């Protein structure tokens, strides 16, 4: 879930746009339950806002983008059999997410209050659907038992010897952090492991 916080009185001329995170509620959102964290996601441009603000002129969006700060609002989505990725009768990918939605709503509300208290004039929310999800985690179960998992503990398929999974699918949760470096490390490890097997 992305949030843009806009301060109409101040340009955002930051150079290092991904260097801040708020983890105050990661372990306790105030009632003893964890909520998640906020992380800066870099600077958007007006043309990028057009995906959700389709009726707003680009010139206006460019001005908003100059004065905005973008945050990723991340609630940890723990493994659950109710969270599924399937293929329907027409061959389309279907994601079902039953767990964690209430927690995410609470985190979004907390983030919005924080940004308002920081002086931002308005907050815009952009939900991230499957088309924007670059790190879908937990969609391939790993484990020692082939009857209960698709991959072994080293992320090799139980059924196909030369098939390895190196994206975020093998992570149980995302840990509310960008997993790109861990994915890259896994890909390098698999490349080295599979070359040794040849």
List the catalytic residues.
135
Backbone phi and psi for residue 188, each to the nearest 5 degrees, phi listed first = -65, -40
The tokens of 19 are what?
Answer: 């260097």
Q: In what order do the strands lie in the sheet with 122-126?
A: 21-22, 37-40, 68-74, 2-6, 122-126
Long-range contact set of residues 175-183: C-beta below 8 Å, sequence gap at least 24:
175/76, 176/26, 176/36, 176/37, 176/74, 176/75, 176/76, 177/37, 177/39, 177/74, 178/39, 178/135, 179/135, 179/137, 180/135, 183/135
The tokens of 147 are what?
Answer: 């009857």
């Amino acid at each position: 879930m992305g949030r843009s916080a806009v301060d109409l009185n101040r340009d955002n001329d930051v150079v290092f746009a991904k260097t801040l995170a708020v983890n105050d509620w990661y372990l306790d959102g105030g009632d003893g339950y964890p909520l998640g964290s906020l992380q800066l996601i870099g600077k958007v441009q007006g043309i990028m806002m057009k995906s959700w603000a389709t009726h707003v002129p680009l010139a206006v969006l460019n001005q908003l983008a100059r004065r905005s700060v973008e945050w990723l609002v991340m609630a940890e989505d723990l493994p659950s059999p109710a969270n599924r990725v399937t293929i329907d009768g027409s061959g389309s990918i279907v994601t079902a997410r039953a767990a964690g939605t209430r927690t995410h709503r609470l985190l979004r509300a907390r983030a919005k209050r924080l940004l308002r208290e920081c002086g931002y004039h308005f907050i815009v929310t952009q939900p991230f659907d499957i088309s924007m999800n670059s790190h879908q985690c937990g969609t391939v179960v790993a484990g020692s038992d082939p009857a209960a998992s698709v991959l072994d503990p080293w992320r090799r398929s139980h059924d196909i010897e030369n098939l390895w999974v190196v994206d975020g699918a093998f992570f149980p949760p995302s840990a509310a952090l960008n997993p790109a470096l861990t994915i890259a490390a896994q890909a390098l490890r698999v490349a080295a492991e599979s070359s040794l097997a040849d």
